[in-house]
Structure 1
Amino acid sequence: MAIGLIIIGDEILSGKRTDKHFPKVVELLNARGLQLSWAEYIGDDRERITSVLQRTFSSNDIVFSCGGIGATPDDHTRQCAAAALDVPLVLHPEAKERIQERIADMAREAGKEPDFSKPEMAHRLKMGEFPQGAEIIPNPYNKIPGFSVRHGGGAHYFVPGFPEMAWPMIEWVLDTQYPHLFQRVARLEKAVLVYEIAESTLTPLMETIEAEFPQVKVFSLPSVGSATVRRHIELGVKGEPLQVNAAFEKMLNGLDAFKAEFQRI
Structure 2
Amino acid sequence: MDQIEAIRRIGILLIGDELLSGKRVDKHMPAVIDLLSERGMELSWARMVGDDAALLERTLVETLAGPDVVFSFGGIGATPDDRTRQCAAAAAGVELEFNAEGRAILESKFGDEAYPKRIHMVEWPVGACVIPNPINQVPGFSLHHHHFVPGFPRMAWPMVAWVLDEYYRHLQRAERDIELMLEVLDTPESALIDLMQSVMDAHPSVRIACLPNAGGRRAIEFGVRGTPDAVRAAFGELESALSAAGVPLGERSER
Q: Taking structure 1 as the reference length, what is the TM-score of the superposition?
A: 0.88
Percent of aligned positions with the same letter in both sequences? 47
Whole-Å Cα distance in 2 between the matches of residues 259 and 92 of structure 1?
Answer: 63
AA matched with 1:140:
P
Of 210, 231, 239, the match for 1:244:
231
SS in 2 for 1:122: coil
How far the C-alpha of 1:86 sits from its partner, in A, is 1.1
2:138 to 144, 153, 168: 144
Question: 1:243, CA displacement in angstroms?
Answer: 2.9
Deviations 1:49-78 (A, max 9, x none): 100100111111111000000011110000
CA deviations 1:3-29 (Å, max 9, x no partner) are 110010000111000000000000000
Structure 1 range deviating more: 242-251 or 198-207: 242-251
Query: Which amino acid in structure 2 is aligned with residue 98 of structure 1?
Result: I
User: Is residue 116 of structure 2 the alignment partner of residue 128 of structure 1?
Assistant: no
Match among 186, 202, 205 for residue 192 of structure 2: 202
Q: Which sits farther off after the overlay, 93-102 or 234-243?
A: 234-243
- Look up the match of 1:262: 250
Q: Please tell me the root mean square deviation across aligned C-alpha atoms, in Å.
A: 1.6
CA contact (8 A) 2:184 2:219 kept: yes
Q: Distance in 1 between matches of 2:250 and 2:70?
A: 39
Asked if the contact 1:224–1:231 (Cα under 8 Å) also holds between the matched residues in 2, the reply is no
SS in 1 for 2:81: coil
Runs of 4+ in 1 over 4 A off after TM superposition: none
> Superposed, which structure 2 residues align to 1:94-243 within 5 Å?
94-104=101-111, 115-116=112-113, 121-150=115-144, 155-183=145-173, 187-226=177-216, 230-243=217-230
Deviations 1:121-171 (A, max 9, x none): 211101110000110111111111100011xxxx00000001011011101
2:37 equivalent to 1:24 = no
Across the two proteins, how many residue pairs are aligned to each other? 245
Q: What are structure 2's unaligned runs of at least 5 residues?
A: 1-7
Aligned to 2:4: none
Query: How far off its partner does 1:100 sit?
Result: 1.8
Unpaired segments of 5 or more residues in structure 1? 105-114
Rounded to whole Å, the distance in 1 between the matches of 2:45 and 2:18 is 21
- The Cα of 1:224 is off from its aligned counterpart by 4.4
- Matched position secondary structure for 2:117: helix
